[in-house]
Structure 1
Amino acid sequence: MTDPYLRVENVVKKFGPFIALNGVNLEVYPGEVHALLGDNGAGKSTLIKTLAGVHRPTSGQLYIEGKPVDFRNPRDASDAGIGTVYQDLAVNQLMSVTRNFFMGRELKGPLGTLKMDVMDKIAHDEMLKIGIDFSDPTQAVGTMSGGQRQTLAIARAIYFGAKVLILDEPTSALGQKQQMEVLKTVKRVRKRGDIAIIFITHNEIHSQLVADRYTFLALGQVIGAGKAGELSHDEIRRLMAGGAEMKDLEGELAAI
């Protein structure tokens, strides 16, 4: 087994008296999909924002390739190879695929003119690498399917150096066909072998289709973890719902 690219050690995040993360541990390996699951309020959003440099841990430590890091802002996290694709995708539907791909990082010539031909080719080729073939990178993003937009955001993150790709609910609000497009893209990225993927989802079926490892959060704490082959479908559902708390609820319902 290779060493983890990213390691989270005893991370605590407090907002005043509220403890959002309470001693979280996590290891993320290249060439694997690590599903991060939990109900609303479990701490998933706080954790990924901590990994992305939006929040700084109150205590604990993050490591990249075994070396301690301190992300003071999202740029620090990006420079360390953390690429985050949020649910809103950060795309402008009126702009072209290429302009979205290079948003804020445009390639310019000596007189400041944009190298559109070069950028068009890069955008086309990078999306083709992970499974989306389209003939016109000048088309507006608003004409693409939801699954294609997700692929655009993923390809953009990888091209600009992501070694850990954080996908925040990438299949939510999509139809079944588009969900499958996204899951296929995730599997293609995993197949590269050099990128670690953190896959946040509320859909246990989707997690089981792509995940190699699991970590389950509840009330800011890790309540379970394991490899895909070690966890049954029922165990995954139970841990997603909060572990022992779910067992108590099932017992109450069975007694009615």
Structure 2
Amino acid sequence: MDAFDNFWAVYSNLVLTLGTNALLALSIYLTLSCGLLAMANAAFMGIGAYTASLLTMNTATPFPLALLAGMVAPSLVAFLIGKPTLRLSGVYLAMATLGFGEVVRILILNTEDWTGGALGLNGIPQLTQWWHVALAVVLALFALWQLRRTRIGRAFEAIKEDETAAALMGIDVAAHKMLAFVLGAALAGLAGALNAHLTFFIGPNEYGFDRGVEILTMAILGGINGLSGPVLGAVILTLLPELLRGLKDFRLVVNGLILVVITLFLPRGLWDPMRFRRLLGRGG
């Protein structure tokens, strides 16, 4: 028991970060599963983090309500910006959503009275417990697993495969894209709210371009052909820097090389059910 207590005292933040990163990877999995290359998840994470933090710091809002607000605020923003941006596709959508992320960052920097500006928010109450993160990940996985089995999930898959064919089959493409975008924003906001109340400090640079690319990398690395892929990618991308800590200055270089090798030789990600079925078929 003492060994576990010592481990938890040292690595509790890392373990809980695995959970919040898994939520972020699942948030972009949602949009990718509908064929949307949207890169606004880091911005939605920031909106959720600041919304929940300001509520708990300034109004003594109960933590569950603050988490709910941290999901609702980015969802509403996603709905508002989704109308014009979701008409775009591919790299144009990625550029537009990255631009939105930069707008959010600049807005945070210029509203110092509320957000602390470049200095960020300090002294956020550490309300996030391990079971909050575990429950959030389990509920997210269960909800997405159920969603994949519904008519909506099948419509997402059809849109991802061929948007024109999906529209000809009677699927409301615009409405389903908006739904995926809003749900992804809610998940990213939840991750941001939980993370803010874990680290007790947040700043605008945490939700910029680098974080957006990191979130996308988690999902692509693990694979977007199933729910296990994004979670696996989040775990690997979170643990790699810690596992390579002994390499000191070469840590980031080796980290990047590992990611490049995986991407080159496993383009569908680490978790690819089709590859496993082929291997089992050969073995049989």
Is TM > 0.5 for Structure 1 vs Structure 2?
no
User: What TM-score do the two structures reach when normalised by structure 1?
Assistant: 0.25
Greater fraction helix: 2
Q: Please, what TM-score do these two structures have when normalized by structure 2?
A: 0.24
Higher relative CO (Cα under 8 Å, sequence separation at least 6) belongs to: 2
